[in-house]
């Protein structure tokens, strides 16, 4: 069980601004290729779990729960580094992605241009993975 | 002057889900190096202006206004491609960044780890650019 009242942050650690809703967007980027894989939201607990486990955790706004990426699909993200932007209200996860990040079977959730052109690589069959 | 009632979208164009607040997060990525430069928010008008001009536009939540990246600093972003994620509620701008994306003078806003380590490259002096 995680402690609901975490200790004060170390002096050098950046105080993330989780804002009124307690969430910040987190961009997951492939640490090797640089491909932007997905964007999801993170609350304080999800960030703590990510740091503790080294695996990417997010907060699902629709299901209203903490969520470990790949817990169902096996397509986990090992987090090499967590960066924070200048305003400390956005995170960047540099990850080693197993399989694909997108539930559609694509490596990246950004597999379409806004004009509807398909530009992404499909790496698994979601009907098999999420059967 | 832009038309406040834009025409229906072309058949192949993805209908972006701007949600209740009319905004989606947009990640700007260097089209050549793959470096994630910044995250900002975009409303429908900002997306239209980006497409029309080929230069990145965002919506400032604090100033409550449309904003062209680099209008003050000269550090504009030429947008090569706009991608949309699987849920159509996040954008990815692939850009050619002039100078640096960050108002602190760094190439990327993500120039720190959450542990406070400095990892980014400083490319300009903000006291000169924003004098």
Q: What is the pLDDT of residues B114-130, one digit of tens each?
A: 999 999 989 999 988 87
Q: B68-73: long-range contacts (C-beta < 8 A, 24 or more apart)? A: B69/B28, B69/B40, B69/B101, B70/B98, B70/B99, B72/B130, B73/B99, B73/B103, B73/B129, B73/B130
Taking CB atoms and an 8 Å limit, are A110 and B12 in contact across chains? no
Residues of chain A found within 8 Å of residue B39, distances taken between Cβ atoms? 25, 27, 85, 90
Q: Convert the pLDDT of each residue in B61-110 to its tens digit.
A: 999 999 999 999 999 999 999 999 999 999 999 999 999 999 999 999 99
The reported pLDDT for the residue numbered A128 is 87
Determine if the pTM surpasses 0.80.
yes
Residues 6+ apart with CB under 8 A from B3: none
CA distance A117 to B13: 9
Find which of B110, B111, B117, B118 to mutate to test the A interface (most A CBs within 10 Å of its CB). Answer: B110
**What is residue B130's predicted lDDT score, i.e. its pLDDT?**
76
**Nearest by CB to B114, which of A36, A82, A104?**
A82
User: CB distance B111–A29 less than 8 Å?
Assistant: no
What is the reported pLDDT for B40? 98
Residue A6 pLDDT > 70:
no
Q: Which residues of A touch B103 (CB under 8 A)?
A: 86
How far apart (Å, rounded) are the C-alpha atoms in residues A2 and A115?
44
Between CA B87 and CA A43 the distance in angstroms is: 20
Q: What whole-number distance in Å separates Cα of residue A1 and Cα of residue B31?
A: 42
**A110 and B102 in contact by Cβ < 8 A?**
no
Of A111, A114, A119, the CB nearest to B13: A114
8 A C-beta contact, residue B70 and residue B77: yes
Exposed, middle or buried, B45 (CB in 10 Å: 0-12/13-18/19+)? middle
Q: Find out whether B64 and B129 touch, Cβ atoms under 8 Å.
A: no
Q: What residues of chain A lie within 8 A of the CB of B75, using their CB?
A: none
**Which residue of chain A has the CA closest to B104?**
A86
Tell me the C-alpha distance between A130 and A77, whole Å: 17
Quick check: B1 pLDDT over 50? no
- Choose, out of B85, B94, B103, B104, the residue to mutate when testing the contact with A (most A CBs < 10 Å): B85
* Contact present, A89 and A50 (Cβ < 8 Å): no
Q: Any known ligand binding at A86?
A: yes
Helix (H, G, I), strand (E, B) or coil at A41: strand
SS3 content of chain A, % helix, strand, coil (to 5): 10, 35, 55
Contact A109 B87 (CB under 8 A): yes
Q: Would you list the domain boundaries of chain A?
A: 24-129
Q: Which of B24, B117, B107, B114 is nearest to A41 (CA)?
A: B24
**Placement of tokens 């939201």 in the chain:** A41
Identify the band that residue B39 occupies on the pLDDT scale cut at 50, 70 and 90.
Answer: very high
Residue A2's pLDDT band, with cuts at 50, 70 and 90, is very low
This complex has an ipTM of 0.91
Which numeric CATH code is attached to B24-129?
3.10.20.810
The structure tokens listed for A52 are 């503790």
What is the C-alpha separation between A112 and A119, in angstroms, rounded? 5
Q: What is the pLDDT of residue B18?
A: 97
Task: Name the residue facing A14 among B13, B82, B112 (closest C-beta).
Answer: B112
Query: Which one of B28, B35, B39 would you mutate to disrupt binding with A, by most A Cβ within 10 Å of its Cβ?
Result: B39
**Interval B41-61: pLDDT, tens:** 999 999 999 999 999 999 999
What mean pLDDT value characterizes chain B? 92
pLDDT in tens, A85-121: 999 999 999 999 999 999 999 999 999 999 999 999 8
């Amino acid at each position: 069980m995680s402690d609901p009242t975490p200790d004060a942050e170390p002096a050098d650690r950046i105080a993330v601004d989780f804002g009124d809703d307690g969430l910040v967007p987190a961009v997951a980027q492939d640490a090797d290729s640089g491909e932007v894989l997905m964007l999801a939201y993170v609350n304080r607990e999800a960030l703590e779990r990510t740091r503790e486990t080294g695996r990417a955790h997010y907060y699902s706004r629709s299901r209203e729960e903490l969520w470990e990426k790949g817990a169902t699909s096996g397509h986990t993200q090992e987090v090499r580094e967590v960066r924070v932007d200048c305003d400390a209200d956005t995170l960047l996860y540099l990850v080693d992605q197993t399989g694909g990040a997108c539930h559609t079977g694509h490596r990246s959730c950004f597999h379409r241009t806004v004009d509807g052109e398909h530009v992404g690589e499909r790496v698994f069959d979601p009907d098999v993975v999420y059967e």
